[in-house]
Amino acid sequence: MSGPAKVASIDNLKEFRSRLIIARERINSALSESQADAQRLKIWLTQEQKDYWQGQLSKRQEQYQIARRELSNRKNQKNMMGNRQDYSDQEKSFKKAEFLLNEAQEKLRLIQRWSQVLDKEMYSFKSAIQPITTLAQEEMPRAAAVIDAMVISLEKYAEYDTEQIDMLVRGGELMAESERSDNDSEVGPDSNEVNREEQTDERE
């Protein structure tokens, strides 16, 4: 009894391909987000923070110089009695300016140090994710293409009914049998025919 060929794996393959594409999209999204986060961190550290503290360094250097001059002037001032003036306020201002200047210098030193560390870590990170990047960007698309080809082939196969398939199989068997017969005929006469010919020659 003829009927359409049953290929139950087609739907399974299509479902697997859909899940494969979804997984690839999620992997690519995660990789993109992680790389974007690392890049934002680098910009924040090497540009935003560096620019800010360089600006602070310039301001604080100027404030330091002013505080130092004011302290020096106050120390050299004398009152009407010839005594030195109290310079405790100027000294406090100078120490504060000195502290703020040292802070800005330290911040820039740390930014330089951590920028180098970040560059190394980003390089290590890219090396670590390279296998999964290759998987998502090269191997998974190839796998999807293979599945597509399999689905197309199976769908074409499913279009045949069982009677047509049997006819194709029998046709293939007949062709193979015909080829074997042709090959046998090319070999030459069998051994029985050769023996009969030899016996005939001896009697003559």
Q: What is the pLDDT of residues 162-183, one digit of tens each?
A: 555 566 566 666 666 666 666 6
pLDDT bin (cut points 50, 70, 90) of residue 25 is very high
Reference 158, options 2, 1, 8; nearest CA is 8
Instruction: Supply the pLDDT for residue 142.
Output: 94
Lowest model confidence (mean pLDDT) among 2-11, 115-124, 195-204:
195-204
Q: Mean pLDDT throughout 115-142?
A: 93
Lowest model confidence (mean pLDDT) among 41-55, 64-78, 82-96, 187-201:
187-201
pLDDT at residue 156 greater than cutoff 50: yes
Lowest model confidence (mean pLDDT) among 4-18, 99-113, 164-178:
164-178
pLDDT at residue 70 greater than cutoff 90: yes
Instruction: Supply the pLDDT for residue 9.
Output: 75
- Bridge partners, residue 78, by sequence: 84
CA 9 to chain centre: 31
Token duo for residue 123: 């390089």
Q: Mean pLDDT throughout 28-38?
A: 93
Q: Which has more pLDDT, 81 or 22? A: 22
CA distance 167 to 23: 43
188: left (phi over 0), alpha (psi -120 to 50) or beta: left
| Domain ranges across the chain | 9-145, 160-204
Q: Which has more pLDDT, 89 or 204? A: 89
The answer to whether 16 and 150 have CB atoms below 8 angstroms apart is: no
